[in-house]
Amino acid sequence: MLTGYNHDEEQYIAAAVLIRKHILYYDFIYLQTPIYPILMSPVLWIAPEHVYAAARWTSGVLFALCCLYSFAICMWISRNVWAAAAAALLLCMSPLLQAAGGSARNDILPCFFLLAGVLVAALPLARPPRAHPEWLGRCAFFLCGLNFVLAFSAKASYGFAPVIGLLYLVWRGRAERPIGSVIAYCAGCAVGALPIAYYTLVAPDNFRYDIVVFHVTAPIDWYTRNQDTVMLRLPYRLRSVAKLVKNDASAVTALGLIAWWTFFRCMSCGWRAVVGMLGHHPCGVLALLLAGSVPFSLLPNPTHPQYMVPVFALLILLGVCCVSYRMGGSRAQPIALGLMVCVGISFGTLRTARHLREFVHPAAWATTRLHQEAVAIKAALPSASSCVATLSPLRALEAGARIYPELASGPFFFRSGDLLPPAQVNALRGASPSTLAKILDEKSPAAVLVGYEGGWLIDLDGMLVAYAVSRNYREISLPAGNMRLFLNPAPSLGCS
């Protein structure tokens, strides 16, 4: 709740609201894979005028479940309650994962599915095949495949999970597992892929553009036109990731533990034996998932911190599980775990302590401040269901107003929409600077709301202001936030 507002949250909440009456990708643009709005829509329906708080509370619950999953995974692999508690604590204290759990973006949901898949996979992998019924192992691998693909269906950068899971099963199955486990895993993947298959059939061209084409063209265009191309260069991206790791005590601790374990294992049995252990060691799947997550997390350009969430989560789990798995009565285990817990608690507490007092004061929450702005908007609108044209749809939805499906992605498609011809923009159900006036003239809004997309070299809000001024909209002052609201002197139903 204390995480600051981020304009990335706009499109996720807008999609979760619009999906009730519109078809995803077919009727409006959504620049991510489809699971988040599908699952979040019923939650936001319960609290239609507190959608921001509902979305963030849901993320907080998922974050708590991720911590619980990390405890269960490490407990199942190591059979050590102290190691399991350390894993949960380090995950909870990670600043990056805390930010993911406090955001209304699709950051924590795919991590939840990823850890759920690791948990069910750990059940048969951590025990000999004869220690459990064959059907139980196959059910576990079915659920593992289901969860891994659902993670990808929530965020495309988790595409490594189902691929690595399948490769690991095939590798391990050569010696220990029957083909039935691979079939069960693939069946789970197929079930998890049904939402993607549905939207691929309903709107194939729109789905392809939203998920693939946009991400390899539009961000580069936008940052180039704003003279900020340094963010797109690989050295800058790697430095950003290094800085992110350096400032996260949980990640640094996990890296140290992995290095410590690898060094002493190589000294005792050789590096070839360590590599060979991945095929039968229950930490092997964690190591391979971690290796797969790194290039996928660096693939989006620019590389924002939230893309590193799976890397940090898997890194923490692998570090704890490595030092705690089958170490018997070695004194190294309590020393390593004790240091790990102390570092995690100390740095995590120092960072979060200053926020604890704010947490008990709801007036300081970002959700409270945004809701106050929404109340001011609602009071100024001519009716409760007025249609608002804005690149910040969250505030309009929080006020109970309607938004334009063409602007549902907030600034993201709009700002680079002129890369495409107007006919293709219309086919994608989007809006661009060159098509905006036509869309709003055909479906006049009751109001134009701006104030949160003007911080770039190219002033996106300025385009909406220019339209409002040219149509003689009347600007009114609002008591909350940095908003500017322009009222239509002759509003129509709009938005349809």
Residue 492 lies in a domain: no
Cα separations in angstroms, 43 against 38, 105, 194, 205, 476: 10, 14, 22, 29, 33
Q: Same domain, yes or no, for 84 and 25?
A: yes
Positions in the chain short of pLDDT 70: 1-3, 126-133, 135, 172-178, 267-268, 270-281, 325-341, 343-345, 347-364, 480-481, 491-496
Query: 302 in a domain, yes or no?
Result: yes
Cα–Cα dist 69/83, whole Å: 13
Residue 7 burial (CB < 10 Å; 0-12/13-18/19+)? Answer: middle
Last residue of a domain, one of 327, 344, 359: 359
| Same structural domain, 199 and 334 | yes
d(CA 112, CA 73): 13
Q: Nearest CA to 341 among 66, 101, 92?
A: 92
Contact 41, 17 (CB under 8 A): yes
pLDDT value, residue 328 = 45
pLDDT for residue 262 = 76
C-alpha 182: how far from chain center: 28
In this structure, the strands spanning 447-450 and 484-487 are antiparallel
Which of 303, 335, 359 represents a domain boundary (last residue)? 359
Q: Which amino acid is at 39?
A: L
pTM of the model: 0.91
Question: Is residue 494 domain-resident?
Answer: no
Q: What gap in Å lies between CA 375 and CA 378, rounded to an integer?
A: 5
> Look-up: residue for tokens 């981020």?
6
pLDDT at 476 (0 to 100) = 87
In a domain, 496, yes or no: no
- Residues 151, 42, single domain; the answer is yes
Three-class secondary structure of residue 475 per DSSP: strand
Residues 312, 374, single domain; the answer is no
SS3 49: coil
Tell me which residue of 326, 236, 315 sits closest to 282, measured CA to CA.
326
340 and 377: one domain? Answer: no
**Torsion sign across C-alpha atoms 145, 146, 147, 153:** positive
430 contacts: CB under 8 Å, gap ≥ 6: 28, 29, 406, 409, 413, 414, 417
Q: Does residue 4 form part of some domain? A: no
Q: Is 239 part of a structural domain of the chain? A: yes
Per the domain annotation, does 495 fall within a domain?
A: no
465 and 441 share one domain: yes
337 and 402, same structural domain? no
Give the type of residue at 347: F
What string of DSSP letters covers 346-409?
HHHHHHHHHHHHHHT-GGGSHHHHHHHHHHHHHHHSSSTT-EEEES-HHHHHHTT-EE-GGGTT
Domain that holds residue 463: 366-487
Res 122: pLDDT: 82
| pLDDT at residue 176 in the model | 56
Would 3 be classed as within a structural domain? no
User: Both 321 and 419 in a single domain?
Assistant: no
DSSP line for 162-231: HHHHHHHHHHHHTTT--HHHHHHHHHHHHHHTHHHHHHHHHSHHHHHIIIIIHHHHHHHHHHHHTT-GGG
Q: Report the alpha-carbon distance of residue 99 to residue 347 in Å, rounded.
A: 16
Residues 84 and 129 grouped into a single domain: yes
Count the residues in the chain.
496
Q: What is the pLDDT of residue 249?
A: 85
Choose one of 359, 374, 400: the last residue of a domain: 359
Instruction: Please give the full DSSP string across 429-445, using - where no structure is assigned.
Output: T---TTTHHHHHHHS--
Same domain, 419 and 337: no
Residues 171 and 287 in one domain: yes
Structural domain count, the chain: 2
What pLDDT score was predicted for residue 307? 92
Q: Is the sign of the CA dihedral 74, 76, 82, 84 positive or negative?
A: positive
Q: Are residues 372 and 355 part of one domain?
A: no
